[in-house]
Amino acid sequence: MFPLSPNFEKAVADYLYLLEKGYPQKSILKIVGDRYQLVSTERSMLYRGVVTSADRELRKEKKPEQLHEGVMLTVDGYNVIRTVGSYLLGRPVFIAMDGFLRDAAEMHRSTLKKKVLDRTLDLLINYLHSVQPAEVMVYLDEPVSKSGDLASRLNETFEQNNITGSALTAHSPDHHLKAVTQGIICTADSAIIDAAQVPVFDLAKALLDRKFHPEFLCFAGFLV
């Protein structure tokens, strides 16, 4: 597990207090991060891991614990792939206060190395086989390098494994995911979760739980 600063728990408490008071998140991040001399990874963990009580309740209502056979899935491709990839690389991965698994890697538009990507896609395909969804739609960010190649590879893999589905690139996958009105969305992106019109499943966590049964750092443990 990533070694945290001795004052990280205090930083979480201060950050949550100010967040609940409605102060701008980025301003809070600088104030609290500077006060407790947090490194960039810890600041990213605060930003993605601390969630107000109101948002926690709203997101909890949208979050099913498991998937059922025959469901239609719309997947935030890079969100899921990068979170799983971060875990496989030994980078900090944690359960935020809203119950969703997130990473602190700040990968943005970078891509995973082939070995890690191969392993991630294997985990995805094996999980989909176990769930047997009616259909899978995967959206990938077009601006990310080699997204077209990854979409083609996913489409070939789906066909080879008799999985009904497709992958495609989009300039803004968020827009498509927020517009979904049937089935279930798979993402841990807070903006998409908040705007979602359908249930939101934590696919990255499900993939890792099924294979590794990991013990993640859980931000709920910081709540009083």
Domain residue spans in the chain? 8-50, 63-215
Task: Give dist(CA 196, CA 156) in Å, integer.
Answer: 29
Whether the Cβ atoms of residue 60 and residue 98 lie closer than 8 Å to each other: yes
Q: Count Cα atoms within 13 angstroms, Cβ side, for 152.
A: 4
Residue with tokens 């409605």: 22
Fold designation for 63-215 = Rossmann fold (3.40.50)
Task: Give dist(CA 85, CA 110) in Å, integer.
Answer: 12
Q: How far apart are the first and last CA of the chain?
A: 23
pLDDT tens-digit readout, 48-61: 999 999 999 999 99
Sign of CA dihedral 146, 112, 219, 38: negative
- Report the number of secondary-structure helices (H) and strands (E) in the chain: 10, 8
pLDDT tens-digit readout, 172-205: 999 999 999 999 999 999 999 999 999 999 999 9
Q: Count Cα atoms within 13 angstroms, Cβ side, for 70.
A: 0
pLDDT tens-digit readout, 65-113: 889 899 999 999 999 999 999 999 999 999 999 999 999 976 655 678 8
